[in-house]
Structure 1
Amino acid sequence: MALAGCGRSDPDLRQTGAKPDLPSIRQTLVPPMKIAKPVSWRDQVPTAPAGFTVTAMATDLRIPRQMLVLPNGDILISEGRGGGAPPLRPKDVIAGVIKKQGNTNVEGGDRITLLRDADNDGRPEVRTIFVDGLDAPYGMAFVDGYLYVANQDALVRFAYQPGQTRLTAPAEEVTKLPSALNHHWTKALTVSADGQTLYVGIGSNSNVGERGMAVEEERAVVWAIDRTTGARRTVARGIRNPTALSIEPQTGALWAVVNERDEIGPQLVPDYLTSVREGAFYGWPYSYWGKNVDPRVKPQKPDLVQRAIAPDYALGSHVAALGLSFVTGGGFGSGYGEGAFIGQHGSWNRQDPAGYKVVWVPFSDGKPNGRPADFLTGFLTADGRARGRPVGVVFDPAKRILLVADDLSNTVWRVAPRAQSLL
């Protein structure tokens, strides 16, 4: 039986959790491609569980990606579109056209927008362009009076004064980030529990090394960066596209959601949620989910495959997880007290769409404990068209709200317990 409300089939359910059921490889010359065509929300909103209310907190954004809540409660939204790697093969051109059909036609903002909702009624009293002139900003972090922003080509920081609604200090470069080709351009960012180290996720430059491994130097990795000196080291490798990073609050451990490879079947390979272990190798491109060899990669490296470790938790194949936020302060309670919300942008290379929603993954003692459950749905219509596509998610414990960036309708959605609903 499919999980209620998500329209997923039995193979999808078996592909979630700590021990996914992996089918055989189904390699095809041209993979099945289907991306949900966009349609307006009109007067509709996403669907949350009973007891929650969903409202549009901001609309008419310019491709919202990730969000950050500042200490004073102001909300920052990064907006932009990066990339630009040329296609390798005719089927890459086809895939690019199909992806474009399901994306917004709005030009990326290359900026960060600020929302201020001091009375927590869901109606921001202030909306300003906090900083512009950026280069495809994505991840953000705030530490010790500085806002750190991961552009597609560099990690920069800005001096910040409490209450500012627009940054006036110039950007200071902390360190450059790999940006040649930028097949996967997004640079995820978070800060360690002690505030001393910034972590940046850097995606691969190809699906499985088709451009040659020379262009994969320091790609498919997570970096640790000293926030004061800019010195960096590589924490983990073979982690194909770590699109969001977050610190698990009980253990202080670094976790990531990761988009896996394409073109070996609609049920391979599961995108995943994992702790990012020091010195670990996660298999890309030579193997997947541990030591399962990908026969397309030539030459193989058996020594690296033997080192490859399996991720902690499968989210399902091609769901395109782009957002990760652990709850703190008791979360929403009632089943949402310990765990993580994950934004799933949605598939493009399978006939039955996967993702297009926000899921909840319960944790216990700092580890996943149970299957993912739908939390915010309705992004797909009954006839398979897309009203929206979730990207970043952020839980604000002070206001007890969940914010969801939707880069198709260019909206930030606010989910709150009904007692906090709009008057």
Structure 2
Amino acid sequence: MYSRTFLTTALAALTAQATAQSSIAAASCSPTLSASHAAPSVANGFVARLVANNLTTPRGIIFDSQGALLVVEQNSGIVALTLADSGKGCLSVGSRKTVINDTTLNHGITLSKDGATLYASSSESVFSWDYSAQSQTNTSAPKTLVTNMAGTDHTTRTLLLPQSAPGLLVVTRGSTSNLDAEAEDISTGHSQVKAFNITNSTGPYDFDTSGLLLGWGLRNDVGIDEEPTSGGIFTVENSVDQMMRDGQDIHQNNPGEELNFLGYLNGTSSPNQGRNFGYPECYAAWKPSEIPQWNGSVGQQFAIGDMNTTLNDTTCSEANRQAPRLTFQAHMAPLDILFNAAGTAAWVTFHGSWDRTDPVGYKLSLVEFAAGQPVQPSNSTTAAVDIVTNADNSKCPSGCFRPVGLAWDGQGRLFMSSDATGEVYAVLRDDGNSTSAVGSNSTGTIPGQASGSSTASGSSTASGSSASATSKSEGVRSAVSVMVVLGAALVAIGL
């Protein structure tokens, strides 16, 4: 027989659990904010809250040491958003302040580990400023760190300060056109990812001629992050549009977008580091059956152009070109990748397609990791699990959010910018737990997902309405059922 003390304690704990499970999902927040499109759909177990709007093309985002969200507004500068937290996941902008007024800034942003140095990029250069989080101001003139990156078409220069290699700054640079022939020449610096020693820098580095090469033949690697347990560098690549092969149009479903592994900066050896990843000769298959005169599988690379003895599918074999670690649906346009601290999940924003009859992308997805690598094999088509999606992609791109940048706050809540709608969302767990805790070293650990599931669906939230009502209500019902039994027991013993 359980004691009265045990039963009372258990009842109190379950009451708290039921309250927590219902509090975030049921909370109504920010009634003055409303999305300019249909509210997002979210996976069971999650809530997407609209936190900020009326921003000017928000791209890269990061939290400073005082909890302010720094946002790159493309072709405008950097603003600091001080967030007000009303509890139950209800967040709003308390104040907004311009930090950097520079119309050349367009995407990249990061902060030093101590939060005292701010980095941002234009299409031409990478800059740094001394930064005060207390006053939300730069306290120095800009210093140019890397330059000579100007180009057309793909002009974002994403920045990463790897924690496993202090003093290095990683910079991504894309191609200057859809099919950039100059990227075949390693000396041009096109379609490459490099690391620069900013600790001992005596002047601006020339991107073309300086730096440690992590990878080339990378058409447009916008998103980049460091897997925290191993120090592995991963990027997400936007592949080519309007593809033809052997005179046939195969662009609807080929080539796939890519998750690339570029090796390490912590001294660990990897054959991937510095390799040619294929572009502009070789591309990863997403729908192999639609590629003429080819018998490969998902993720393997094939050639395009006039096939001859020096350029053919053998050129694109694993021995000659580095294949992606994972391949995603063609044209989804991945723009950011962000790991949780445990290295069990990588979150990826898919900005969305323009080069496809049926729009795809326009969503936030999660890739499960273990031991420094994705759980799914390289030929998987189900590795990306959808967490936040647009309810109707046929309305896109004009009538939906378009995810770009990702950032964790100090409580493990995930924030996501949408450039086309000028918004920032917070992605929360509806049970009150940390979003950053999602994922583990085995499959089937994403809330609302069965093992091996490829997609997630649930109800939606815009300015704080409930997402994942089914998951929430089932959890509450379960807790309430046990509470009833415990309550009966307490009555039986005279409490």
The alignment's TM-score, normalised by the length of structure 1, stands at 0.75
Residue 252 of structure 1: how far off its partner (Å): 1.0
CA distance in 2, matches of 1:300, 1:358: 40
Structure 1 pair 192–47 and aligned structure 2 pair: CA distance change class (3 A): same
1:126 to 73, 89, 95: 95
Partner of 2:420: 408
> 2:42 is matched with which residue: 22, 39, 48?
48
Number of the residue aligned with 2:120? 149
Whether 2:178 is the aligned partner of 1:207: answer yes
Q: Is the 8 A contact 1:379 1:389 kept in 2?
A: no
1:381–1:319 distance in 2 versus 1, CA, 3 Å: closer
1:275 is aligned to 2:261: yes
- Unpaired segments of 5 or more residues in structure 1? 1-39, 81-107, 330-336
Aligned length: 347
Change (3 A) 1:266 1:164: same
* CA deviations over 1:162-221 (Å, ceiling 9, x no partner): 3232224211111204103x2210111111123221111100112223679679810100
Question: Does structure 2 retain, via aligned residues, the 8 Å contact 1:379–1:386?
Answer: no
* RMSD between superposed Cα atoms in Å: 2.8
Superposed CA deviations along residues 8-42 of structure 1, whole A, max 9, x for unmatched, are xxxxxxxxxxxxxxxxxxxxxxxxxxxxxxxx944
Gap regions ≥5 residues in structure 2: 1-33, 206-210, 244-250, 264-272, 285-299, 377-382, 433-462, 466-495
TM-superposed CA distance for 1:61, in Å, is 0.6
Structure 1 Cα separation of the partners of residues 213 and 180 of structure 2: 19
Q: Which residue number corresponds to residue 327 of structure 1?
A: 340
Structure with the higher helix share, 1 or 2: 2
Of 394, 412, 416, the match for 2:407: 394
Structure of greater Rg = 2
Aligned residue for 1:217?
Answer: 188
Q: Equivalent residue for 1:360?
A: 366
Select which of 79, 83, 88 maps to 1:117.
83
**CA 210–309 in structure 1, closer or farther in 2 if over 3 Å, else same:** closer
Match of 1:241 in 2: 220
Q: Deviations over 1:300-342 (max 9, x none)?
A: 557964520101011211100011111125xxxxxxx811111
In the other structure, the counterpart of 2:108 is 139
1:75 alignment counterpart = 69
Helix, strand or coil: the match of 2:241? coil
- Flag the 1:115–1:255 CA change in 2: closer, same or farther, 3 A: same
Matched residues in 2 for 1:339 and 1:242: separation? 19
Letter of the aligned partner of 2:346 in structure 1?
Answer: A
Q: C-alpha distance in 2, partners of 1:309/1:263?
A: 23
SS at match of 2:48: strand
**Displacement of 1:137 after TM fit?**
2.8
Can you list the C-alpha shifts for 1:270-325, whole angstroms capped at 9, x where unaligned? Answer: 11112113211101111123652122589955796452010101121110001111
> Which of 290, 294, 302 is 1:292 aligned to?
302
Residue in structure 1 matched with residue 168 of structure 2 by the alignment: 197
SS across alignment from 2:341: coil
Output the CA distance in 2 between the equivalents of 1:161 and 1:395.
20
Shift of 1:413: 0.8
Q: Judge conservation of contact 2:109–2:121 (CA < 8 Å) in 1.
A: yes
Range 111-120 or range 58-67, more displaced: 111-120
One-letter identity of the residue aligned with 2:180: G
Asked if the contact 2:38/2:391 (under 8 Å) is kept, the reply is: no
C-alpha contact (below 8 Å) 2:121/2:158 kept by paired residues: yes
Using the TM superposition, give the Cα deviation of residue 79 of structure 1 relative to its aligned residue in structure 2, in angstroms: 1.4
Separation of aligned partners in 2, 1:310 and 1:374: 24
Q: Secondary structure at the match of 1:124?
A: strand
- The partner residue of 2:355 within 349, 352, 358 is 349
Between the aligned residues of both structures, percent identity stands at 24
Work out whether residues 324 and 394 of structure 1, in 8 Å CA contact, stay in contact via their aligned partners in 2: no
Distance 1:256 1:300, change over 3 A: same
- Alpha-carbon distance in 2 for matches of 1:242, 1:42: 29
Partners in 1 of 2:337 and 2:242 — Cα distance?
25
Residue 171 (structure 1) aligned to one of 142, 145, 154: 142
User: Post-superposition shift, 1:407?
Assistant: 1.0
- Per the alignment, residue 17 of structure 1 pairs with none
